[in-house]
Structure 1
Amino acid sequence: MSNTMTGPVEAYFEGRNARDFARALSGFSDNAVVRDESRTHRGPQEIRAWMMETIAAYDDRSDLLNVEMEDNTVIATAEVSGNFPGSPITLRYRFMTERGMITSLEIAP
């Protein structure tokens, strides 16, 4: 099991947990797409709004359990706790990267 990573994915988790939206967004490309809870968010403005909305609703924090990297894909598994039924839960984050930037993120159980 690995739980080390660098770059934009690390910035996402660290920034989100610290409520530092600029850091959390710093690794996303201008045309990045996030899919979470059956919704799609495109571009930095929508992704920032999604982060702010979900943190306000759930006050969630992620503790990384495992990170797998292969080519341009990073799959991170995290225990997510917060103000929601069933907390904590384990979620899988699938990041696609291109030229060192996150181009897509899909979050699923």
Structure 2
Amino acid sequence: IEPTLPAGIPHVFISSVSGLGIDVLKDILWTELNKESNRLEGHVESIAHRPKDMSHLAEELREEGADEDLSVEYVDEDDIEDLEDFEYEEDWDEEEENDKEQQ
């Protein structure tokens, strides 16, 4: 198979049984990722995180075929603690069933 591969493109064959070749693959990936040609310097200004405009979310969900009305609810830090302690009723039902089975 190796003679049919394009010249100049790094490649490695990996054994699915022994994993032989994984270290070579890691080395090739590390080398390619750290090349100067892959640096983001000069491009960082154009790549910036911006908060998502939530006014378009409902439209995007409809376009993707979502049939539920998903309203976005913002939660402040005080409410997060309440949510962390929240348990679903289904969880209680499962625990009760497991307790009955163990008795």
Give the TM-score band, short-chain normalised.
Answer: under 0.3
Give the strand-richer structure, 1 or 2. Answer: 1
Give the helix-richer structure, 1 or 2. Answer: 2
TM-score using structure 2 length: 0.20
Query: Is the radius of gyration larger for structure 1 or structure 2?
Result: 2
TM-score using structure 1 length: 0.19
